[in-house]
Structure 1
Amino acid sequence: MVIKNVRIITCQDSQVVEQGYVEVKEGKITAVGQGEYTGNDPEVLDGQGGFLTPGFIDAHCHLGMWEEGLAFEGDDGNEETDPCTPQLRSLDAINPRDRAFGEALSYGITTVVTGPGSANPIAGQICAMKTWGNVIDDMVVRFPCAMKFALGENPKNTYSDKSQQPVTRMAIASIIREQLYKARRYQQDLERSQEDEDTDPPDYDIKCEALLPVLRRQIKAHVHAHRADDICTALRLFREFDLDGVIIHGTEGYLVADAIRKAGVPVVCGPIITTRGKPELANACRENPMLLMEAGVPVSINTDANELPIDMLLTSAAIAAGAGSRPLLWEKALEMVTIRSAEAAGISDRVGSIAPGKDADLCLFRQPPVGLLVRPEWVMIDGKFTHQSSNPL
């Protein structure tokens, strides 16, 4: 298939192809060109001058783990019986038939990074998945793509009611640190047993096993942190264990932007559209993403759905992009919900931009997509039309 006569917003090195075409074969992008298509592919779709973008990515949400319209029956996001649960797999809890997946798809969101909540200091394994499909195993982009950690108010409130650790920020960090040290020792014992046949391997430990990819920097460490002091604690843990870290939410990130920049750590900001409904949000401001970007920090935008409806992702990007002293062009703002989100999840080899070799996750718009509830004319995932307002062919 070839999609021709489109303005291609590649989200790859800020490149925009004013009049071009994209070739798709077997679910992958195989060519991106400028000008008229002169090949012989029999299946050609005329985009009629529309805007062609990558599918959008929500870099942090909880789709399918807190199901829309359900209470306890659909609440599978927080295992509040143990503050340290790295062995939990979001893959075993996500219901891909949650109606929010369809709503995401209708607004061009083709990939979501969804996982456990923030009740536990170590909460479990996060999944990056497509928003179209019936069987979650077939929808996965990468699992696990990250491990969920949480600092601050949520673990404190969860366990203070149970008269159990942690009830202070000290204890939260201590639980994380202790388990990472155990996992590091477990890793060392495993390596010794592999190098020396006379050395027995350690007894199997499912918590330590789950943390090995984090210690090896094979997956990201996503840390829920709102307050500036919690952000700095996360940076300290990243340094101590040499983790490939990402700050999630980063509400007060603008107060410690230089420290985040020096650490080389990205921030997934959001939800942007929210009230100051708890003490950690007292200093929330919509300028935060732009202030972080101006400081040199890689920034992506998330909805934290179901905290904010998933269909507000592009609206959130528009608000964030316009909130700073130097508003972003919408083409640049689009990167906060495409390539920057993909990088924060460790999946930019698959999705996040329009480039040869990447998944053919594409959206066609008749107007710039960064705005209030703007819907695409059609959405494609892996080269297949999955949502359309009219028959594209």
Structure 2
Amino acid sequence: MSMAEVAFVGGRVVTGTGRVIDRGTVLVREGVIERVDDDPLVPEGVPVVEAGGRWVLPGFVDAHTHIGAHEDGEGPAGADASEVSEPDMSAVRAIDAVNIEDRAFRDALAGGVTTVVVKPGSGNPIGGTSVAMKTWGGRTVDEQVVKQPAGVKSALGENPKSAWGERGRLPRTRLGVALVIRRALIAAGEYAARQAEARDKGEFFARDLGKEALAAALAGDLAWDQHVHRHDDIATALRIADEFGLRLVLNHGTEAHRLAAELAERDVPVIFGPVLSTRGKVETREASVGNLVTLARAGVRTAICTDHPVVPIDALVLQAAVARRAGLTWDEAIAAISSAAASIAGLGERVGALEPGRDGDVVVWSGDPLDLGSAVERVHILGREVYRAGNGAPVVADRWAER
């Protein structure tokens, strides 16, 4: 994706890390934030966005979505988030399923979301690897990648237990699901050891894509993203993480508040949500945005996700507003969809905050984004303007234009 330079001058700059600058300046050079301060002077020739009376924030980060891979309303043609031919699908990659022309990417811009993590679904004990990407700007998904792979998706509970019904290949119980995961991790560890030995001897060694992904998780290079709702499944996730030294990140965490003290002590983060979904299955009977507040008060690092298309991607900020009403501080609510979300997803060096050295992903809001009366007016990704609100339909950059 092409990069640009631009300066946002005179707005209320909210960095996403707790710092607020009234009448601040954000300078982006070569797609990267160069400075954030209260100096209105910018280098000659740099285009200026006059942001007086507006709020200037980092692009939001949704750390758990299926955007582009599971297109709402598209039926079988858009249902590519879960490959259910085997219980262990660690070899598959979400990046291979993403359609960047999914209309939801335009919706993401309208909601101020500039970075998403696209994950395989939860129909397998091990679902594959995820990809972190920008929500606009490339002619292929590869041009929008922030991190690939971004983690390994695994699932515990009812989804992997019952996903196939009568198909017969998956385990039918929680203990069977856990067994699939353990066996796969043991095999991956043995594979990594044999591969290292062969490399040292200069011998040929046949690759196994699934074991390679799991070996990266065992080495701590990839997060272990665990789909989990119930407290007993969370305990199993902790148990497996301890056994194999996994860098565990809980996804959903409906009942994580029951183990809040332990999660805080162990620094196991929770990508919570979606906040606005119904209690539509047995595992979510205790769902409440108050559970998120409990986690935050206990010191657990938390982010808020939409799980798009479960909740539409542009409602990410609405969920943060609901969490604010339930008891999160304003800073906590904003961080949960910006800097904290980026950090938990392993993207904190690039996105989620207006700080020097990070990507120039900047969103201009008409007012406080947690105020339902506020709207996104402009979105820049890597400094390049990709979205502007209008009196009629918003203007979205043409990804196919010559650049």
TM-score (norm 1): 0.94
Amino acid at match of 2:176: A
Q: Unpaired runs of 5+ in structure 2?
A: 1-5, 396-403
Q: Distance in 2 between matches of 1:82 and 1:373?
A: 47
Deviation (angstroms), 1:218: 1.3
Mapping for residues 17-166 of structure 1, pairs under 5 Å: 17-37=21-41, 39-133=43-137, 134-166=139-171
Deviations 1:263-306 (A, max 9, x none): 21110001101111110001111111111000010000000011
Tell me how far apart the structure 2 counterparts of residues 371 and 84 of structure 1 sit (CA, whole Å): 43
Offset, 1:35: 3.9
8 Å contact kept, 1:116–1:123: yes
Structure 2 counterpart of 1:362: 362
Partner of 1:170: 175
Decide whether the 8 Å contact of 1:186 with 1:202 is kept in 2: no
Measure how far apart 1:374 and its partner are: 4.0
Tell me the CA shift for residue 250 of structure 1: 0.1
SS for the counterpart of 2:380 is strand
Aligned partner of 2:400 in structure 1 is none
In structure 1, the residue matched to 2:244 is 241
Matched residue SS, 1:260: helix
For 1:306, the equivalent position in structure 2 comes to: 309
Alpha carbons of 1:42 and 1:267: their partners in 2 closer, same or farther (altered >3 Å)? closer
Mapped partners of 1:170, 1:382: distance in 2? 46
**C-alpha separation between the residues in 2 aligned to 1:298 and 1:369?**
22
Q: Which residue of 2 aligns with 1:259?
A: 262
Aligned counterpart, 2:195: 190
Q: Deviations over 1:55-105 (max 9, x none)?
A: 011110100111132101111111111110001011111101010111111
Q: Counterpart in 2 of 1:341?
A: 341
Distance 1:68 1:254 in 2: 30
How many Å separate the matches in 1 of 2:158 and 2:371? 32
The equivalent of 2:352 in structure 1 is: 352
CA–CA distance in 1 between the matches of 2:298 and 2:155?
Answer: 25
Separation (CA, whole Å) in 1 of partners of 2:110 and 2:321: 18
Size of the aligned set, in residue pairs, is 385
Instruction: Check whether the contact 1:66–1:74 (CA below 8 A) recurs between aligned residues.
Output: yes
Shift of 1:229: 0.8
Q: Is the 8 A contact 1:312 1:373 kept in 2?
A: no
Q: CA deviation at 1:32?
A: 1.1
Does the 8 Å CA contact 2:361/2:383 hold for their aligned counterparts? yes
CA contact (8 A) 2:366 2:374 kept: no
Q: What letter corresponds to residue 186 of structure 1 in structure 2?
A: Y
How far apart, CA to CA, are the structure 2 residues paired with 1:379 and 1:207? 37
Distance change in 2, residues 1:205/1:297 (3 Å): same
Alignment partners' CA distance in 2, 1:70 and 1:43: 40
Secondary structure in 1 aligned to 2:246? Answer: coil
Contact 1:60-1:112 within 8 A present in 2 as well: yes
- Return closer, same or farther for 1:279/1:97 CA change in 2, 3 Å cut-off: same
Mapped to 2, the partners of 1:39 and 1:92 lie a distance apart of: 41
1:320 — aligned with what?
Answer: 323
Query: 2:367, 2:375 within 8 Å by CA — same for their partners in 1?
Result: no
| Residue deviations 1:115-170 (CA, integer Å, cap 9, x gap) | 21000000011011111133111011111101100000001111443233311111
**Secondary structure of 2:34's partner?**
strand
Structure 1: distance between partners of 2:50 and 2:208: 56
- TM-aligned CA distance change 1:90 to 1:5, over 3 Å: same
Structure 2 distance, partners of 1:372, 1:229, is 37
Distance in 2 of aligned mates of 1:349 and 1:164: 41
1:387 aligns with 2:391: no
2:79 partner amino acid: D
1:38, CA displacement in angstroms? 5.8
After TM superposition, which residue ranges in structure 1, 4 or more long, deviate above 4 angstroms? none
3-state secondary structure, aligned to 2:82: coil
- Counterpart among 3, 6, 28 of residue 11 in structure 2: 6
Q: Quick check: 2:27–2:42 contact (8 Å CA) kept in 1? A: no
Measured after TM superposition, the shift of residue 41 of structure 1 is 4.4
Q: Pairwise mapping of residues 195-234 of structure 1 onto structure 2 (< 5 A)?
A: 195-197=200-202, 200=203, 202-234=205-237
Conservation of the 8 A alpha-carbon contact between 1:311 and 1:373: no
> Do the aligned residues in 2 keep the contact of 1:22 with 1:33 (CA within 8 Å)?
yes
- 3-state SS of paired residue (1:59): strand
DSSP 3-state at the match of 1:145: strand
